[in-house]
Amino acid sequence: MTEATFIPKSYKNTLDHGSVSFKAPSNIALVKYWGKYGEQLPKNASISFTLSNCFTKTQLSFQKKEIQEFDFEVYLDGKREEGFEPKILKFFERVEVYLPFLKTYSFKIETSNSFPHSSGIASSASGMSALACCLVEMEKRMSKNLSTALEETKQKASFLARLGSGSACRSIEGDLIVWGAHEHIEGSSNLFGIKYPYVVHDNFKNYQDTILLVDKGEKQVSSTVGHNLMHEHPFAAQRFKQANDNLSKLIPILENGRLSEFIKIVEQEALSLHAMMLTSEPGFILMKPNTLEIINRIWTFRKETNSNVCFTLDAGANVHVLYPEGEKVSVLNFIKTELKPFCKNGEFIVDMTGSGAVPL
Ligand code: PMV
């Protein structure tokens, strides 16, 4: 399959005006994507859990118009958010070839997140996923074949979301999603995310993710800059190999449910991601002292209690505390008593794996 698969031939119906709405989740990577080439193509395969309580809701209203140029406004929580518009314009320019109707409508994009804007949780994955789902739904209404196969619809939404923000392509479906061609994962592609196609042990059902909000400020280094620093990175080739090898190692672990092995890989991935940041030229540090404090406390708790709790990190200071559903009571208790003091204003978000984007 190539990019050309996603270029539509013609539309049967014209829509004059209307609106579509979607709710799309955030996701947390177990094997990380960090480094890209071409148009948002990943240098290695990644896998993530789709989340349940961290999501974006987007309503896309459209009105047919004469003048052929991009025309849209973005609203966050009911207020015009011009700061988001350059990113959306770039997205529209990138996807226009796959959605040739874009310049023939005025759009109003109204969006809101379930998590606070200043939480340090990136809204780009859920936001781009929700917008891509809206656009694909709109296209579906214009298409000859109104009953476009669900699989095709999801693939196109993931393909488009990827062009907005790489990891957003893993936010269309749940709960375990692979993005990036991987020799041991059938159907995997650099173009879009797919549902993990193999057996998953019950230990990973409803896996818990409590997100500790360590630093709620703007990131000092954006992920676009971070990805670009992988181009000349001295350890890049080794890192891409490590990620693909870790994904290979996860396949039997996801099947047999061995949590101790799962933890080793997940934590190595988080630390490796940040090691890439530390050793970039110039280097940068997104972790904060409290990030390290929390990691050390998780390690001590695990040693002392034989818990299967572990952590992962995004491109930021927040800590995602991952644990099986069966340990919910004990780990939440540990978080409340020992980790909460290291969160900004004592804030954390209790989340778990979820099932993907849905129309509203
Ligand atoms: O989707 P981007 O370009 O914001 O990159 C996200 C990269 C990480 O969140 C750090 C890792 C990942 O695989 O989600």
Establish whether residue 233 lines the binding site of ligand 1, counting it when its CB lies within 6 angstroms of any ligand atom.
no
Q: What is the pLDDT at residue 149?
A: 80
Domain boundary among 160, 181, 198: 198
- Closest by CA to 56, choosing from 153, 138, 125, 118, is 125
Q: Which two tokens stand for residue 81?
A: 């958010």
| Residuewise pLDDT in 10s, the chain (360 residues) | 899 999 998 898 889 999 999 999 999 999 999 999 999 999 999 999 999 999 999 999 999 998 889 999 999 999 999 999 999 999 999 999 999 999 999 999 999 999 877 677 778 999 999 999 999 999 999 986 656 688 889 999 999 999 999 999 999 999 999 999 999 999 999 999 999 999 999 999 999 999 999 987 767 788 899 999 999 999 999 999 999 999 999 999 999 999 999 999 999 999 999 999 999 999 999 999 999 999 999 999 999 999 999 999 999 999 999 999 999 999 999 999 999 999 999 999 999 999 999 999
113 and 217 assigned to the same domain: no
Which of 26, 223, 225, 273 most suits a substitution to test ligand 1, by most atoms within 8 Å of the C-beta? 223
Residues with Cβ within 8 Å of residue 228, at least 6 apart in sequence: none
Q: Confirm or reject: Cβ of 171 under 6 Å from ligand 1.
A: no
pLDDT at 98: 97
pLDDT at residue number 219: 72
User: Would you say residue 360 lies in a domain?
Assistant: no
What is the Cα 54 distance to its own chain's centre?
Answer: 11
Say if residue 54 is in the same domain as residue 127: yes
**125 alpha carbon – ligand 1 mean position (Å):** 8
Beta strands in 91-238 (DSSP E): 105-113, 176-179, 193-195, 208-212
Q: How far is the CA of 14 from the centre of ligand 1 (A)?
A: 36
The whole domain housing 59 covers: 3-198
Does residue 126 line the site of ligand 1, with CB under 6 A? Answer: no
Question: What pLDDT score was predicted for residue 252?
Answer: 98
Does one domain contain both 40 and 68? yes
Q: Give the pLDDT score at 156.
A: 97
Same domain, 10 and 121: yes
Q: Domain for residue 219, yes or no?
A: yes
218 in a structural domain: yes
Q: Within a domain: residue 358? A: no
* Same domain (yes/no): 75, 116: yes
For the CA of 34, the nearest atom of ligand 1: 7
Are 46 and 100 contained in the same domain?
yes
* Cβ proximity of 243 and 189 under 8 Å: no
* Ligand 1 neighbourhood includes 110 CB (under 6 angstroms): no
How far is the C-alpha of 96 from the C-alpha of 91, rounded, in Å? 8
Which of residues 152, 172, 198 is at a domain's end?
198
226 shares its domain with 259: yes
**Structural domain total, the chain:** 2
d(CA 302, CA 331): 10
Domain end point (choices 154, 179, 198): 198
Residue 302 and residue 223 in one domain? yes
**Strand, helix or coil at 94?**
helix
Q: What Å distances lie between residue 236 and 103, 276, 280, CA to CA? A: 39, 8, 10
Asked whether residue 188 falls in the same domain as residue 260, the answer is no
Cα–Cα–Cα angle for 25, 301, 253, nearest 5°?
A: 55
- What local confidence, expressed as pLDDT, does residue 147 receive? 63
Taking the alpha carbons at both ends of the chain, their separation in whole angstroms is 31
CATH, residue 315 = 3.30.70.890
Q: Cβ(166) to ligand 1 under 6 A?
A: yes
Interval between CA 261 and ligand 1 midpoint (Å): 23
Quick check: bond before 234 cis, omega within 30? no
162 occurs within a structural domain: yes
Catalogue the long-range contacts made by 193-199 (C-beta closer than 8 Å, 24 or more residues apart): 193/158, 193/162, 193/169, 196/47, 196/254, 198/251, 198/254, 198/255, 199/254, 199/255
Q: 244 and 182: one domain?
A: no
pLDDT for position 146: 59
Rounded to 5°, the CA angle 343-349-350 comes to 125
Q: Tell me how many degrees the CA angle 114-117-118 measures, rounded to the nearest 5.
A: 130
The answer to whether position 357 is within a domain reads no
Mutation test residue for ligand 1: of 26, 28, 30, 34, the one with most atoms within 8 Å of CB:
34
Ligand 1: atom nearest CA of 170 is: 14
Cis omega (within 30 of 0) for bond into 175: yes
Tell me: do 151 and 254 sit in the same domain.
no
Domain-embedded: residue 217: yes
Domain assignment present for residue 76? The answer is yes
- Beta strands 319-323 and 310-313, pairing class: antiparallel
CATH code where residue 152 lies: 3.30.230.10
Nearest to 250 by CA among 155, 177, 323, 326: 177
Looking at residue 148, its pLDDT comes to 65
Q: Ligand 1 centroid vs 118 CA: distance in angstroms?
A: 18
Q: Is the pTM of this model over 0.85?
A: yes
Residues 116 and 231 in one domain: no
Strands annotated E in 154-265: 176-179, 193-195, 208-212
- Within 8 A by CB and 6+ apart from 289, the residues are none
